[in-house]
A and B are shown apart, each in its own frame.
Chain A
Amino acid sequence: KQEVTQIPAALSVPEGENLVLNCSFTDSAIYNLQWFRQDPGKGLTSLLLIQSSQREQTSGRLNASLDKSSGRSTLYIAASQPGDSATYLCAVRWQAGTALIFGKGTTLSVSS
């Protein structure tokens, strides 16, 4: 069964810290992987998309890496800010045209 796991489930850090969110997936033959942000009671905002042929993607203070052979992706957030507080979701698509399968997310709280 294709599953996505995210660790930790929750994380609290002081402002300014660099942090890493982890995502692991069964079956390394993925099509692509996408990281999202979800604010409480809101929809999803796409942060980064990594195709299966890529190793990493960067956007501003965010960097996502992909290691297919080990079935892992990490989301690195540099110099965290209170506005980064949200739930971060990792989602994997295993085949073109199929749905994303989501992990349960990591809820991040950044204190000022």
Chain B
Amino acid sequence: GAVVSQHPSWVICKSGTSVKIECRSLDFQATTMFWYRQFPKQSLMLMATSNEGSKATYEQGVEKDKFLINHASLTLSTLTVTSAHPEDSSFYICSAETGYGYGYTFGSGTRLTVV
């Protein structure tokens, strides 16, 4: 089946540094990828929609200058958390549509801890 590979699976970084998270579609082309964030015991909240070759669309309340999204190819989208702070500690996960009728598949997620 279609697979979205997400790396790293977990990362610990110091406050003020930047962290990049990658999502790759391994056996299909993903024109659009979605980025979600999940705080403990909460559901997944959509952060942004990433379209290949164009600027990402951010949800209300998500700082586009802090969460930089790049979708330079049909198989790779990246999320960079810039100047990370402890309140950015969360579970970040990406998803892509694999084709009509197959729904969305998700990456395995990245657990970010900012200390």
* A residues lining the B interface (CB < 8 Å): 32, 34, 36, 41-44, 46, 49, 51, 89, 91, 93, 97-105
Q: Are A99 and B49 in contact (CB under 8 A)?
A: yes
Q: Are B93 and A44 in contact (CB under 8 A)?
A: yes
Give the residue among B46, B93, B104, B111 with the most A Cβ atoms within 10 A: B104
Q: Are A34 and B106 in contact (CB under 8 A)?
A: no
List 6 additional A-B contacts (Cβ < 8 Å) besides A41-B111, A43-B107, A89-B43: A32-B103, A42-B108, A42-B109, A100-B46, A101-B46, A104-B42
Proximity string of chain B (23-64) to chain A, C-beta cutoff 8 Å, 1 when within and 0 when not? 000000000101010000011111001000000000000000
Is B80 positioned at the interface, with any CB of A under 8 Å from its CB? no
Chain B residue numbers with a CB within 8 Å of A97 are 32, 97
B interface, over-half SS: strand
Query: What's the A-B contact tally at a CB cutoff of 8 Å?
Result: 51
Other-chain residue from A42, A89, A98 in contact with B44 (beta carbon distance below 8 A): A89
Chain A residue numbers with a CB within 8 Å of B104 are 34, 46, 93, 100
A22 to chain B, nearest CB (A): 15
How many B residues have CB within 8 A of the partner chain? 24
Complex Cα spacing A99 to B95, Å = 9
Chain A residue numbers with a CB within 8 Å of B49 are 98-99
A25 to chain B, nearest CB (A): 13
Is B90 positioned at the interface, with any CB of A under 8 Å from its CB? no
Known A49-B103, A100-B34; contact A43-B109, beta-carbon cutoff 8 A: yes
Chain A residue numbers with a CB within 8 Å of B113 are none
Complex Cα spacing A104 to B95, Å = 18
Chain A residue numbers with a CB within 8 Å of B36 are 102
Would you mind naming 12 contact pairs between A and B with Cβ atoms under 8 Å apart? A41-B111, A43-B93, A44-B44, A44-B93, A44-B95, A46-B106, A49-B102, A99-B49, A99-B95, A102-B36, A102-B44, A102-B45
